[in-house]
């Protein structure tokens, strides 16, 4: 009986530890593309979205794909704008 309690307590502690660690591990990546490559990928995402909308997939799946593509395209546009804007000089 004590063995089962010990195993379940250990399992619970391990799950709790993994849950706490997974929320604190956040990384940022910066990818560099040429303007031509970025435009090509952006257009490919648009084509994927159009294909999904014309497909026989369930409505919820199409909505998910469309929302994912829209979100990715929005992030691409935001990153391009951020990189094109001049950065303010640091104050002394």
In terms of Cα–Cα distance, which of 43, 32, 37, 35 is closest to 73? 43
In terms of Cα–Cα distance, which of 54, 73, 14, 27 is closest to 6? 14
For residue 31, the enclosing domain spans 2-84
C-alpha dist (Å) from residue 81 to 61, 85, 86, 90: 30, 6, 10, 20
Domain count for the chain, please give it.
1
**Cα atoms in the Cβ-side hemisphere of radius 13 Å centred on 86:** 3
pLDDT at 76: 86
pLDDT at 32: 80
pLDDT at 26: 66
DSSP track, 52-76: HHHSSS-HHHHHHHHHHHHHHHHHH
In a domain, 28, yes or no: yes
Low-confidence ranges of the chain (pLDDT < 50): none
In a domain, 10, yes or no: yes
pLDDT at 83: 80
Q: What is the pTM of this model?
A: 0.56
Give dist(CA 33, CA 38) in Å, integer: 6
In a domain, 91, yes or no: no
């Amino acid at each position: 009986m004590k063995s089962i309690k010990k195993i379940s307590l250990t399992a619970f502690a391990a799950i709790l530890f993994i849950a706490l660690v997974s929320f604190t591990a956040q990384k940022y990546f910066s990818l560099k593309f040429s303007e031509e490559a970025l435009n090509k990928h952006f257009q490919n995402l648009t084509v994927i979205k159009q294909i999904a909308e014309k497909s026989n997939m369930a409505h919820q799946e199409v909505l998910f794909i469309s929302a994912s593509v829209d979100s990715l395209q929005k992030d691409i546009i935001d990153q391009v704008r951020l990189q094109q804007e001049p950065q303010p000089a640091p104050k002394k």
